[in-house]
Structure 1
Amino acid sequence: MRPIDAALALAVTLIWGIAFVVTRTALDSFSPALLMVLRFALSALPVLLVARPAIGWPRLAAIGATLFLGQFLFQFVGIAQGVPPGLAAVIVQSQALFTVAFSAALFGQVPGRRQVAGLLMAGGGLLAIAATSGAEFSFAGFLLILVSPVSFAFGNILMKRAGPVDMVALVAWASLVPPLPGLALALATEGPGGMGQALAGASAASWLAALYLGLVATTLGYALWGRLIARYSAATIAPFALLVPFVGAAASALVFGEAFGPLRLAGMALVLGGLAVLLTAPRPAGLSR
């Protein structure tokens, strides 16, 4: 990999890792539904400049509903329910575990022995993390945020089967999907008055956080990642994604003083170790990544 591209890959991991801390800041002023509306209304702005990608509307809507709506709504809800940002970064990255598992179940892409070992390690880590729920966050909060990587995994599969597309265009047009359901949910739970009060009373930090999530973490982050994927193999690029939870955990510890007990650390280590095995294991015949 060229040094400039390695630097870009590292920049994306920083952007996405820091986004978990930024999300916690934005949720101080906005509800999860309203934050989702703001994030994807901003990331959809390039539709004014780029043509729709060459995929059908049903697939585009499905990608937007899984990769964006499902992933980020439940991520935001989980963090709002008390799941610390650093821990959330690890849980969301378990999407690789679910991607392999769903590919095996849906398409018969049977994982090899090393991948099975990685699945078991990561799954055991998630169970250990679940066992730490209690005073800081509820088990219900853990289950809610766990929907995020599950939805992320379905989005990965849909993206893979869509073939090569312009990532900037795909991100922009798929970003049109989350705002309307998010707006409907915000209206149902907060009402127009509550939404207006949240928008009017939001801090400058929360507004800057929403801008970061929409324009930097979504538009810029996915555009850079798409460029790298187009240039290099998945095996070359995917390991960089393992750095995202480390960045998220370090940033959360620095900004919010997030602490990790022995069991939680063990669970996080198992998840990340299992994901490393999954991403570096040889690909069996017939198995796609």
Structure 2
Amino acid sequence: MPLKDVLAATLVMVLWGVNFVVIDWGLQGVPPLLFVALRFSVVLLALPFVARPAAPLRHVLLVGAAMSLGQFGLLYTALAFGMPPGLASLVLQLQAVVTVVVAALVLAERPALLQWAGVGLGLVGLGVVALGRGGAVPLVALVLCVGAAVSWATGNVLVRRLKVPGGLGLTVWSALVVPVPLFVLSLVIDGPAVVGHALAHLSLAAWLSTAYTAVLASLVGYGIWNRLLERHPASEVAPFTLLVPPVGIAAAWLVAGERLTPAALVGGALLVAGVVLVTLGPRVLARRRAGRSRPMSAPEVRTVAERP
């Protein structure tokens, strides 16, 4: 991959990692579900300029219900309930582990042994994070964040099951299913008075956060990401997502002074190691098998023959 594309992928990871801190910053004074509705209302402004994915609209909306509405509705609520943004960026990566399990159950896919090892390691890491989260992290916030990861994983499996193309088109068109349901749900949960007051008194932080999450994290981020996937194999591009938790944790430390407990750091390291096995393990095995089955050249044959 050329250096400019490596830098572009790294830029996207920085945008996505910082995204957690920006969301937490803008949530002050705004109900979380209403805030998600505002974000995706801005995303929908790009609808006339982005081609619809080559799939039935109902399939696109079904994916959006899990990947956009469910994931971000739960994530924003988790942050509102006290989930630290750095820890949230880490726990959300559980989606890669859950995707393997859900795909095995729903799509009858057969994960490699290394992937099952990654699932086990990731779950152990999550358990360590839960036990060592410290008193500052409410259990309900952690559960909601795990729910966001499960919702994201469900969306991943739906993309495969329904054969919906990913990328920027899916991000924009799936947003159709987000604003109205979450706005209505916010009215029911928070009450018309709270929602009306929040809309009438949106702070500069809320507007800037919405602009960042909708324009930079969603449109610019997925726009660059989609181009990279068009130019390079997914196996070269996807591993960059492992940079999101370190960026998120670093941003939360620099901006908000967030410090993870030692147990949370250990659990997070185990979780990320599990994600590495799930993501990269099968590719490493495939390359080794391909290398073994590759016919040997004349010098290689001679070298093997000369071995004692």
1:156 aligns with 2:173: no
Deviations along 1:92-147, one digit per CA (max 9) or x if unpaired, are 11110011111112222222221121111111000111113452122222111111
- What corresponds to 2:106 in structure 1? 106
- Over the matched positions of the two proteins, sequence identity in percent amounts to 38
Q: CA deviation at 1:87?
A: 0.3
**Do the aligned partners of 1:46 and 1:169 also contact (CA within 8 Å) in 2?**
no
Query: 2:273 corresponds to which letter in structure 1?
Result: G
Q: Which has the larger Rg? A: 2
Q: Which amino acid aligns with 2:61?
A: A
Q: How does 1:1-289 map to 2 (within 5 A)?
A: 1-133=1-133, 135-163=135-163, 165=165, 167-282=167-282
Q: Specify whether residues 134 and 261 from structure 1 end up closer, same or farther in structure 2 by C-alpha distance, changes over 3 A only.
A: closer
Q: Which amino acid aligns with 2:108?
A: G
- 251 and 54 in structure 1: CA distance in 2 versus 1, 3 angstrom threshold: same
- C-alpha RMSD over aligned residues: 1.7
Counterpart residue type for residue 236 of structure 1: E
Cα distance change on mapping 1:55 and 1:164 into 2, 3 Å? closer
> What is the identity, as a one-letter code, of the residue corresponding to 2:228?
L
Checking the alignment, whether the CA contact within 8 Å between 1:15 and 1:221 is kept in structure 2 is yes
Give the whole-Å Cα distance in 2 for the aligned partners of 1:114 and 1:52: 36
Partners of 2:253 and 2:259 within 8 A in 1: yes
Q: Deviations over 1:40-80 (max 9, x none)?
A: 00111111223422211221111110110111111111111
Q: Distance between the aligned counterparts of 2:196 and 2:63, measured in 1?
A: 30
Q: TM-score, normalised by structure 2?
A: 0.88
Aligned residue type for 1:96 = A
Q: Paired residues, what number?
A: 285
Secondary structure of 1:136's partner? coil
Structure 2 unaligned residues grouped into runs of 5+: 287-308
Q: TM-score, normalised by structure 1?
A: 0.93
The one-letter code matched in structure 2 to 1:95 is Q
